[in-house]
Amino acid sequence: MSVAVSPLAPKSYPEMPSLRGVRMATAAAGIKYKNRTDVLMMVFDKPASVAGVFTKSKCPSAPVDFCRANLAHGVARAVVVNSGNANAFTGAKGKQATTLTAQSAAAAVGCGENEVYLASTGVIGEPLDATKFAGVLGQMHSDATGDFWKQAAEAIMTTDTYPKVATRTADIGGVKVTINGIAKGAGMIAPDMATMLSFVVTDADIAPEALQALLSAGVGPTFNSVTVDSDTSTSDTLMLFATGAAAADGQARVEKGDDARLASFREALNDLLKDLALQVVRDGEGARKMVEVTVTGAENDAAAKKIALSIANSPLVKTAVAGEDANWGRVVMAVGKSGEMADRDLLAIWFGNVRVAVNGERDPAYSEAETTAVMKLEDIAVKVDIGLGNGTATVWTCDLTKEYVAINGDYRS
């Protein structure tokens, strides 16, 4: 089934610069899709520092297990990603597939299998024929080039309607560094890390320990604050690589995540992660609207986030948005069921800049016309003040449309 590009897609894509120390290639291995690329290989010609954050699912995919085991080594030379098959819930065959893929990649690049990272996305429960990789990885290693970011993003798409790319620059000790990232994700998206696949690379010289600290902190307000359908994938993988090429410009290696020289880099990385995360939400399967849910006045920040996610994940809230119906009663319902402290008579709710409820009842100045105008927008802000404390949180979601059901009703066929 061909799906039209999301109306919330970016109007243009950034020029993605080549990044020193990493090369990429794609191939069509015919894993599930015909006439399109479905394998991505990233090559680091010199060992790169690596950090990763993965799904919290108790049923993780074989590639997630493989990456977690290798992460302690801290060094990457190659990444192999395929779309069309998640290699999840595949038993002993899944482990055999990751082993064979890693062996093929290590042979192609000339590195250890513990320097290879793998990710797979697509159907759960289907054995992955890793022999399809063996024949293409050697050629991919030869063909790999630095100017290939958009094509890389396209190769890892499943139900995505557009590739997701972002780039930023930062300063470490007076030396300019670049950060590039790609992501894929449209469904089975919920904030339990990372809700999809994403690969971010910088030419900065940063040790694995510092890189991991940056990534673990950066994921909270970005990828762990987006939800399309409340379903946590088995395959979620977010990886950050540092090639160290900026050392040639005089950038001194950074060993610790709390190093003051990382201030600019941290800000740029977090901004890039948020950019990619919001691109995932804006490509939510069947999405026509993006919703920003902000909760203030909760008991604490954690409570605020739980309430915000209760609102963002409610099918009734999301279908009301799809129908452009300012049904704030559904927001009240979602606050009440969250399990966090709330006082009905202190609640205030806004759609856009229009306050629709205050002190536990409909706002006396409520205007149906003003509120309807807000609901017709592509980007809708929902704010809820709990009135109890200082806790705040913001999460992002999309509407729930008939197209979501259609896409997922025949996903395996």
Enumerate the active-site residues.
Answer: 195
DSSP 252: P
| Phi and psi at residue 332, to the nearest 5° | -55, -45
Please give the structure tokens belonging to residue 29. Answer: 């291995």
Please give the structure tokens belonging to residue 47. Answer: 């060992």
Please give the structure tokens belonging to residue 42. Answer: 């990233």
Which alpha helices (DSSP H) does 135-250 contain, by range? 137-143, 149-155, 208-218
Q: How far apart are CA 362 and CA 326, in angstroms?
A: 12
Q: How far apart are CA 295 and CA 381, in angstroms?
A: 11
Q: How far apart are CA 302 and CA 53, in angstroms?
A: 20
DSSP 47: E
Tell me if 184 sits within 8 A of 284, measured CB to CB.
no
Please give the structure tokens belonging to residue 252. Answer: 């001194």
How are beta strands 164-172 and 175-184 bridged, if at all? Answer: antiparallel
The residue among 146, 202, 214 whose CA lies nearest residue 175 is 202
Please give the structure tokens belonging to residue 83. Answer: 């779309």
Tell me if 236 sits within 8 A of 121, measured CB to CB.
no
**3-class state of residue 76 by DSSP:** strand
Question: How does DSSP assign 229-247, residue by residue?
Answer: SSPPPS--EEEEEE--GGG
Count of helix runs (H) and strand runs (E) in the chain:
12, 14
Please give the structure tokens belonging to residue 322. Answer: 């799809």
Say if residue 194 is preceded by a cis peptide, omega within 30 of 0: yes
- Identify the bridge partners of residue 168 per DSSP, sorted by sequence position: 179
The residue among 292, 267, 268, 270 whose CA lies nearest residue 281 is 292
Q: How far apart are CA 284 and CA 9, in angstroms?
A: 10
Q: How far apart are CA 15 and CA 42, in angstroms?
A: 19
